[in-house]
Structure 1
């Protein structure tokens, strides 16, 4: 496996676009710290986002993993380009001629996806830990190390999304078309979700929709903003109460893992069937 990873990372590092996008992705992840410096001046009201508790433990684990997930498109471009370059540069055929089996080829790509997901998870954990130690009002160990399941959800979310992108890169062969297909699939899920809610009971529609791949990935980490004390306070003042389940559920993780397996299996089946 080490040899397969070495081959992939040599290819990625020698590709300038992939190198720039990867570095930009990790730089952008550190920009989450900029939320601490954002200040709002509305008339006589002055407040800083960091003072609203967004960096309090354990809320920071939820908030940062949710925000960081938006930047995954940068690595998605890298992964899709990684496959399109194999076809355009004929390196996939050369690798197979040099003795790499199709199974090993797919494994090398999947291992790259796993490594990207692991490094991203560790990176956002370290950034969040530093921000929390600086700004959090709660620094007891029992509080700091609670709700860490959001990092498992973040890892699985990236793993599933990048595996989908890998499959699209093999299926479409061209990075621009693969990314276009990704956007088209997002639109399809949105239309399906809307039609399901129109024709069916909302509970049944939600139950069906959660099995769609992108929706399943989205459900792993729910929006964290309504958990903020300020939002809860405003809601109570207008006579509303926000009751929402923000937990990470095992069945939601399982759904995404099943999709991950399907994407990798389909990638291998397609490559095995295709005449290179």
Structure 2
């Protein structure tokens, strides 16, 4: 495993575009702290995001993992270009000539996906911990380390998303077309979801069906955190809206994404095994 990871490390190290994208991604994750400085002063109305409690423990784990997951597209570009470059530079053929089996080649990419997902999760954990201890009103350890399942959901979300990108990169062999294919598949899924909702005049049936599809299953891992804020609930209550939702991470949603991850990696291997290089 370490040998395969080392191979991928050197490939990323000497790829300027990948280095830039990785730096941008982690820089943007670091900038989550800027939410604490955002203030709006409109006449007598003063609005400070940090005072809304977005950095309170344990809410911060939910909020930061949700925001960080929106930035995963940058690492997707790294994964897809990493695969596409193997074909364009013909390094995949050279790796196989040098003794790397096709199974080891796919495993090296998957280990890289796992490593990037783990590093991202740890980075979000550290940033959230620092922001929480600075701004949170609650710093008891039992509160601080509750709701950590959102970090698990974040890791699984990245793992599934990047594995999807790896599969499309293997299938299409061109990074731009692979990313475009993912966008098209996303649009097809979200438009068809809207159509099903419209036909049935509600989301219940669509949610039951689409929870098993790739993008919806990824989205379901971490629900939007905005409506969980007490200030938002108070405003909703005043207009007669009930925002009492279940925001917990559910085991079967993690299982669905892990099943997709396994399928994407298996299909990537099958593609490579049958392809004449």
TM-score class normalised by the smaller sequence: over 0.9
Q: CA deviation at 1:205?
A: 1.6
Q: Secondary structure at the match of 1:242?
A: coil
Unaligned runs of at least 5 residues, structure 1: none
Q: CA deviation at 1:42?
A: 1.9
Partners of 2:186 and 2:24 in 1: how far apart? Answer: 24
Task: Give the equivalent residue in structure 1 for 2:221.
Answer: 220
Q: Secondary structure at the match of 2:208?
A: helix
Partners of 1:101 and 1:152 in 2: how far apart? Answer: 31
Q: Secondary structure at the match of 1:41?
A: strand
Partners of 1:152 and 1:129 in 2: how far apart? Answer: 15
Q: CA deviation at 1:195?
A: 2.3
Deviates further, 190-199 or 111-120: 190-199
Q: CA deviation at 1:199?
A: 3.3
Unaligned runs of at least 5 residues, structure 2: none
Task: Provide the aligned C-alpha RMSD in A.
Answer: 0.9
Partners of 1:71 and 1:202 in 2: how far apart? Answer: 27
Q: CA deviation at 1:14?
A: 0.1
Q: Secondary structure at the match of 1:47?
A: strand
Could you give the per-residue CA deviations for residues 108-149 of structure 1, whole angstroms, max 9, x where no partner exists?
Answer: 000000000000000000000000000000001110011000
Task: Give the equivalent residue in structure 1 for 2:77.
Answer: 77
Task: Give the equivalent residue in structure 2 for 1:165.
Answer: 165
Task: Give the equivalent residue in structure 2 for 1:17.
Answer: 17
Task: Give the equivalent residue in structure 2 for 1:53.
Answer: 53
Task: Give the equivalent residue in structure 2 for 1:33.
Answer: 33
Deviates further, 236-245 or 48-57: 236-245
- Corresponding position: 1:209 with 2:210: yes
Partners of 1:148 and 1:7 in 2: how far apart? Answer: 32
Could you give the per-residue CA deviations for residues 191-226 of structure 1, whole angstroms, max 9, x where no partner exists?
Answer: 221222233463222100111101100100000000
Deviates further, 145-154 or 194-203: 194-203
Return the TM-score normalized by structure 2.
0.98
Work out the number of aligned pairs and report it.
Answer: 276
Task: Give the equivalent residue in structure 1 for 2:238.
Answer: 237
Partners of 1:49 and 1:58 in 2: how far apart? Answer: 16
Partners of 1:178 and 1:18 in 2: how far apart? Answer: 16
Could you give the per-residue CA deviations for residues 50-108 of structure 1, whole angstroms, max 9, x where no partner exists?
Answer: 01100000000000000000111110000000001000000000000000000000000
Return the TM-score normalized by structure 1.
0.98
Could you give the per-residue CA deviations for residues 5-59 of structure 1, whole angstroms, max 9, x where no partner exists?
Answer: 0100100110000011111111110000000000011220112100110000000
